[in-house]
Amino acid sequence: MKSDFRLIGLSKKKSFTCTGLHNEEIFWPEVGISQDAFDLLWDKAKDTDDFWEQKWIAEIQHDGLFEDGTPKDAIAVNFRKWDLN
């Protein structure tokens, strides 16, 4: 299954930090995007002053949820701006 989670961090080592949309439980999904896609996201975060203020969604492929709401066998497969409208 695929679900939306909040992207709250990334590192140049090609890793992501995420939380639930409605909780603060942190998890680190495996990376399921190409190096080119990661580099594009990295450059946008580095070059855009308000990148983290914009709020970002990580689409996570997973095998269900743990009791704390974090996904089992999480793989980040896509990212997009969180449309709050």
Q: How far is CA 8 from the centre of its chain?
A: 7
Instruction: Look up residue 73 and give its two tokens.
Output: 């066998």
- Confidence (pTM): 0.89
Residue 66 has pLDDT above 90, yes or no: yes
Q: Which pLDDT belongs to residue 12?
A: 86
Average pLDDT, the chain: 93
For the chain, the domains span 2-81
What is the mean predicted confidence (pLDDT) over 40-44?
Answer: 93
Does residue 60 carry a pLDDT above 80?
yes
Q: What is the pLDDT of residue 5?
A: 97
